[in-house]
Structure formats: structure tokens, C-alpha cells
Amino acid sequence: MLDEQTLRKVALECFINAQSLHDEARLLAENGYRPRGAALAIIGLEEFAKAITYTLAALLPAKRDSLIKELANHFVKHLIAGSAEAAEIETEDYRLVLSQNCGFPLSAEERLGILFRWLVQHDVSSIAVDTKGAKTFFDSLRTQGSHILPEPHLKNAALYVDIGSGGEVLTPNRAEYQAESEILGFEWFLDIYQALPKVLEDDGTWGSFAARICAP
């Protein structure tokens, strides 16, 4: 079993890599390579999801194996990113009330603590092992008739030429119109969880953070 220190280190490197992938995705999109920019943003979101998962594994020794076991599965990574988004949405009112009661905005670290406490309470480890369910979920989105492709399928569409069900030639340009929204969506995740590198890197900050998250 990987130890807490190693998990913190790999989570940090995943987040740093995600930030680099975002910058490169933006450069590609701004220089005429929008489909490639979309693909790189999606890969970056997957790295972000790994950072979240490895952080949770560092916090929860009893669930480390289940959290990490299926992390190579792209569908699982996108469900974990969805959980990270849900944490922000579901805790918004609580954070607002807390800030109003305190009389000043919450710090980035306090906000991050609330997000991770929600993730722990909602047992993301159960999502991390449901590879079949994850694939079924994204496949169902793909076949609902929308012109918007879900991220795991959009990544392939942005990289490869294919033949459609009606015999039409599908080029990566089909992903072009989703590039900006994918990059902006990815920026949103990096902004919301911006305090994570500091928490992972500093032993004192990590100790306080972990104590708050794992408190009864």
C-alpha cells in the first residue's frame, strides 16, 4: 500500500501537470489548433481528477486501494471530476452562510477543506471502483442525440479521423466548436481547487487540513 507522503507527492505532481496541460491547451486553441486544444484540456481534466483521488487516498488509509485501483480508467476519472464539481455546487450555500457569519470571505484553504469534507462524506471511493457504471453513464450521454459529446468521447473525436454510422468521414474538426467550453470548464476546476498544491506541499498545512477533513 502506498504511504501518505507518496500519495501527497503524486497528487501534487498531477495537479502541476494539469496546470501545464491547461496552458498548452490554451496555446493550441489560440493558434488555430482548437480540436487539439480541446483534447489536451480533457487530458488535463483527467490529471486533475487523479490529483483529487490521490489526495483522498492520502486522507483515507482504509480506502486507498479502492480509490486507486481503477484510476487508469478514463470514464472513472471523469466521474470523479464530476464529484469535484458537485462538491462545489452542493456546498455553495453553506460556504456563503459561514462567510456571512464570520464577517469575511473564507480563505482558499478553508474553502478547499469544505469541498474535501463533502467528497469524503459522499464516499467517492464507491465511484472509483464502478468502471462498468462509469462507461455506461458516458455512453448513454453519447447516444442521447445531443450534438455535445461527453469528454471521454470528445477526446477521441478531437484526435482521430473516423467513419460515422452513416458512412460519413469524421475529422477532428468536429470537436472544434467544443474547444473553448472545454478549456474554460477546465480553468474553472483549477481555480476552485487552487489551494490544493499548497495543502499537499506543506506538512503543517496538510496536518491541519487532514484533521479538519477526518474529524467526526
Q: What is the Cα–Cα distance from 105 to 128, expressed in whole angstroms? A: 33
pTM: 0.88
Q: Which residues have CB under 8 Å from 213's CB, separation 6+?
A: 59, 113, 116, 117, 120
Q: Residue 60: phi, psi to the nearest 5?
A: -125, 80
Q: What is the Cα–Cα distance from 172 to 95, expressed in whole angstroms? A: 41
Task: Using alpha carbons only, give the angle 40, 41, 43 rounded to the nearest 5 degrees.
Answer: 60
25 band by pLDDT with thresholds 50, 70 and 90: very high
pLDDT of residue 177: 86
pLDDT in tens, 52-70: 999 999 999 999 998 988 8
What is the count of structural domains for the chain? 1
Task: Using alpha carbons only, give the angle 27, 87, 110 rounded to the nearest 5 degrees.
Answer: 90
Q: Is 32 left (phi over 0), alpha (psi -120 to 50) or beta?
A: left
pLDDT of residue 186: 96
Which is more confident, 138 or 127?
127
Q: Is 215 left (phi over 0), alpha (psi -120 to 50) or beta?
A: beta
Residues 47, 21 contacting (CB under 8 angstroms): yes
Alpha-carbon radius of gyration of the chain: 18
Domain membership of residue 104 as a residue range: 4-214
214 band by pLDDT with thresholds 50, 70 and 90: confident
Q: Which residues have CB under 8 Å from 71's CB, separation 6+?
A: 50, 53, 77, 128
**Biggest CA pair distance of the chain:** 62
